[in-house]
Structure 1
């Protein structure tokens, strides 16, 4: 398959989409096998694992991608690995004698097996991450997608097989995740072994490491903030509520996180097209109408999920019924995250990416500051409320920021649309009956008509451009 070809690009996109579909199947399987409290502890294990990886990489994985085409393969690999390996040794060495305390802190038990799993997973995580980065940079889309899908399939298959013979708990499921990671890392290593075998200690170069650090360190806070935005509410629930509330909230976010696939798909074509149009000095109206069509389309998806949210219980067991009630609020997290990328595109075009860091930091402060109060009082509902509010504010900051540094794509339209979604979400959360469904359906029909009219307008303008 040719590098850069449409088929190759599609194969890169297919991996996350298919793995998300497998994840969709894994959710009901896991929630039917685990208690709400165990599901909460499993989620704490997974987000702690993600934090550890982000912490030890020091964003050197980003340096690997940035300098891949400018440095020799073996030299780049060894010099971007040095820091993560050193940090891993220090981390394992400093925690090995505190296993009981860390286990008590995270999982409320002195059984330190899960903490051992976390530490054991680090070397596999490093191998898997850098091997898959090599595959990605070599533009082997089909292989990259296959490895992602393989990892998810192993998890689902092992959970089903194990459940036939024993009663699963969160520790056993965490071990299954570890087995999947080991197999995925091993397979990734096999396909990239030609790169790994060329690593030599003599290639370690202080100046090279400093060059890579100079690039990665400014990105490091942003990387940690991404984790914070996605996970801080779960951490706060752990310390200011109960594991049961952690489980309810985690189940609800697992369902809404499926929508993140939509973000990957939209951004895969939105970014390249906008950059090309900007370079070609296309009329402002093309940018405006295109952005509006995407926002209307995502709003239709939002409305669709609201209308049929009660049916999402099939993804969970009856023990998680409370999680479904959080969906109208938590939907704002993935949708505002996606929409902020659309309306905030000018920040990237004008190379004002430091604004993204500032906006993320403000959002994280809101989550942490108000989260403690809301979660202490309302548990999972409080976590959902503050998360929804924080992402709405993040969306507004990016909308206003992009309008100032680049161009206004229709702020009044986007804010009006946001207010409509907030109204529909509130109505569905409070009523959840036939009246709310009819009203939401009517709004959906209006959105379809607006989307069709906007598409016709854009088509007319584009025809004029290509005459």
Structure 2
């Protein structure tokens, strides 16, 4: 994958983050924390449906893509089982108990809300399979536009609400959110029509489907465990705290997701690239180098977020004042997950997916206990702490398993740096409000040490930016 392709993939997370920085304050000012918490529960349900009903076959598709000639048949074998199963389940739920989804997710008994939620969940699963096609074909610009345009639509709808509405109800927020999810699906469908239209008439050999299930089926359990690892905080906040605390946590997580755009860029580009390296027989040295550069980026993002978190208080309403102390810990899920994808890539290359499942279960179990103990006492802050530490454990365990089944990777610096920033983030949640100056000094100290420690990575980044800028200037001058 060349620099132009990587830039194409990067435009999506960058554009989405930029739009998110505009959209999030608008949502916080016009909709209640409870309504934002309700939307967060729909996101949890959608993510669970994607994890469970892909049956791990999306990852099987990615693993076998470069080694399969009949790609339409591969796509049909991977996508059809989950799409049929989820569609049938949603239809049964809506017929048997029309208000069940709305009650379970939103604490509101409304058939219309259930139908809209079901549409959003199904569209999310379809989008998942279609997005994998663009990733594997390395069509970065099309992938990015499929991400950015729906976010822009969501912003436009919320903007219309802000200008014209006199009251802001949850159903308005749900309609805007679902419209953006469906738009994602439609744009993906248009950009991948060359792949899924032939797949409709393709024939699938039973042995081919069996091969995909052999690799993907263990990933169902690992995927559910990964979902639990990411969703336990919201579920415990819903049950042991309040929708207001859930809304505060969701806002912090949304800001962290925007700040962690490096995770979105990396995980999008990584799978097709590393599997191609493996097919070419030139993977280990490149993986070690990428891990080092990604670690430098992750540490500096933690540092900059911690140092600049005070800005949040001037952007969001007073209800969300605690977000500034929680946001650094909320960086752990996207950033440490991206690091684990890189450092533990040997699990996928060795086709030992059971180890990913085991690592996810261990971290998820830790997160359950942590949330159970901390959420009743600390609310959103307790959820952020438990999830951050759980993802650090996930990174370490997954990396150790990868070293066991593939090649040993350098990891002393990986564990030391990630432990340091996670500890600082946890301390910021607990004591940041009382000792802000002390933590500002701590973030600065970690930042200075990181500049020294990761000097080769930073020098490479500066050189790459300079070359890119010089190339643009030559293009403009000509």
TM-score norm. by structure 2 comes to: 0.81
Report the CA distance shift for 1:27/1:211 in structure 2 as closer, same or farther (over 3 A).
Answer: same
Residue number in structure 2 paired with 1:227: 227
Q: 1: CA distance between counterparts of 2:342 and 2:203? A: 42
Report the alpha carbon displacement of residue 190 of structure 1 after superposing the two structures with TM: 3.5
Match for residue 37 of structure 1?
34
Query: Which residue of the partner structure matches residue 243 of structure 1?
Result: 243
Q: Is the 8 A contact 2:102 2:117 kept in 1?
A: no
Correspondence for 1:461: none
| Alignment match, 2:298 | 298
Is 1:52 the equivalent of 2:55?
A: no
Aligned-pair distance for 1:201?
6.3
Cα gap change, 1:165 to 1:385, in 2 (>3 Å): same
RMSD (Å) for aligned C-alpha atoms: 3.5
Q: Report 1:134-149 matches (<5 A).
A: 134-149=133-148
5+ residue gaps, structure 1, are 458-467
- Contact 1:346–1:407 under 8 Å retained in 2: no
1:427 shift after superposition? 5.2
* Structure 1 residue 208, shift from structure 2 partner: 4.7
Indicate conservation of the 8 Å contact 1:403/1:409, yes or no.
no
Matches within 5 A, 1:52-451: 52-68=49-65, 70=68, 72-96=70-94, 97-166=96-165, 167-198=167-198, 203=203, 206=206, 208-266=208-266, 268=269, 272=274, 291=291, 294-345=294-345, 347=347, 352-402=352-402, 406-407=407-408, 409-411=410-412, 413-422=413-422, 424-425=424-425, 428-429=428-429, 430=431, 431-451=434-454
Residues 92-119 of structure 1 deviation map (CA, whole Å, 9 limit, x = unaligned) = 2321122334422322221233221122
SS in structure 2 at match of 1:258: helix
The answer to whether residue 17 in structure 2 is matched with residue 20 in structure 1 is yes
Structure 2 unmatched runs, 5+: 461-478
Name whichever of 240-249 and 397-406 sits farther off: 397-406
Task: Provide the secondary structure at the position in 2 that maps to 1:99.
Answer: coil
1:415 Cα deviation (Å)?
A: 4.3
TM-aligned CA distance change 1:123 to 1:309, over 3 Å: closer
- Summarize the Cα distance change of 1:434–1:148 in structure 2 as closer, same or farther, 3 Å threshold: same
Change (3 A) 1:245 1:115: same
Does structure 2 retain, via aligned residues, the 8 Å contact 1:343–1:409? no
Segment drifting more, 250-259 vs 9-18:
9-18
Indicate conservation of the 8 Å contact 2:218/2:353, yes or no: no
| C-alpha distance in 2 between matches for 1:338 and 1:21 | 20
Q: Relative to structure 2, which stretch is displaced further, 413-422 or 238-247? A: 413-422
In 1, the alpha carbon distance for the partners of 2:418 and 2:308 equals 20
1:455–1:28 CA distance, 2 compared to 1 (3 A): closer
Measure, in 2, the Cα distance between the counterparts of 1:442 and 1:67. 45
- In the alignment, which residue of structure 2 is the partner of 1:460? none
Task: Point out the more displaced range, 70-79 or 227-236.
Answer: 70-79
Instruction: Name the SS of the counterpart of 1:110 in structure 2.
Output: coil
Q: Deviations over 1:360-414 (max 9, x none)?
A: 1100111123322322333222211211221222233235445555335252x44
Q: CA deviation at 1:247?
A: 0.6
Q: Is the 8 A contact 2:83 2:126 kept in 1?
A: no
Q: Distance in 2 between matches of 1:245 and 1:142?
A: 37
- Contact in 2 for aligned 1:288/1:410 (Cα 8 Å): no
Give the stretch that moved more between structures: 82-91 or 196-205: 196-205
Aligned pairs, how many? 450
Residues 274 and 287, structure 1, Cα contact 8 Å, conserved in 2: no
CA deviation digits over 1:238-294, x for unaligned, max 9?
122211111111111111122432124456479759968x956988xx987875564
Structure 1 length normalisation: TM-score? 0.83
